[in-house]
Each structure stands twice: as structure tokens, then as C-alpha cells.
Amino acid sequence: MERIFGKKKVSFSISELHSVRQDYLTVATENPDGVRVVEQVALQHGTIIPGFGKTSEFYTVELEFKDSKRFIIFSSEEPAVANEIVVRFKNFIKIHKGNKVPLIPKRGEDA
């Protein structure tokens, strides 16, 4: 994992993996006043920042382990792309684990 102050290697056994899931994440502006200030400063310098301060939506792929640790390993603005990554991970795991990782439905879908 890349971090601000160096790298950290995290490893888990496939047997510890509980599920591979697709989820949905919305990132909204927490400080609208700060966004306006930054936009004003940018304009003073003759620059605009397209999309700055707008709500962003992402479809994520997460690995969840038996100890409830969850890691986001991929994100996309397109749900089909994230779903394809989930399918590829599950196929890889089936080959290497010998059994099926539970399929957790996307939010709003029935099992």
C-alpha cells in the first residue's frame, strides 16, 4: 500500500478471505466555504479547476477478510468495470482456493 510516509506491505492467505464485493461510495464536499475560496483564488490566477468541489461517485471492489478487515482494491465511476474486476477476482480465487468465495449482492439487489 502506498502511504504518505512510505510503503506498507500487507498480506493475507486466500483462506482468510471471506468475500469479494462491489460497493458504492459517494464523496461529497465537507467544506463548501473552502471550495469557494479556492475557486476564487484560482480565478484570480486565471485558472479554473473543473469538477472541484463536486460530489463524486465511485463503484468500489473490496476484499473482506474473516477478521472483518476490508480493503478497497479498485474504484471506478462505471459500475460495469468494477463488476468485471469482481468477477475476475472470484474466478482467480476459485482456481487457487478450490471453492467458491461468497457472492455478496450489490446494494439494492436481491441475493
Q: What is the DSSP string of 13-73?
A: -GGGEEEEEEEEEEE--S-HHHHHHHHHHHHHTT---TTTT--EEEEEEEEEETTS-EEEE
Q: Give the tens place of pLDDT for each residue, 42-89.
A: 999 999 888 888 999 999 999 999 888 899 999 999 999 999 999 998
pLDDT above 70 for 109: no
CA 73 – CA 55 distance, rounded (Å): 21
Grid cell, residue 16, equals 482468510
User: What integer pLDDT is reported at residue 111 of this predicted model?
Assistant: 42
Claim: this prediction has a pTM higher than 0.85: no
For the chain, the domains span: 2-104
Contact 60, 82 (CB under 8 A): yes
User: What integer pLDDT is reported at residue 108 of this predicted model?
Assistant: 56
pLDDT band at 11 (very low <50, low <70, confident <90, very high): confident
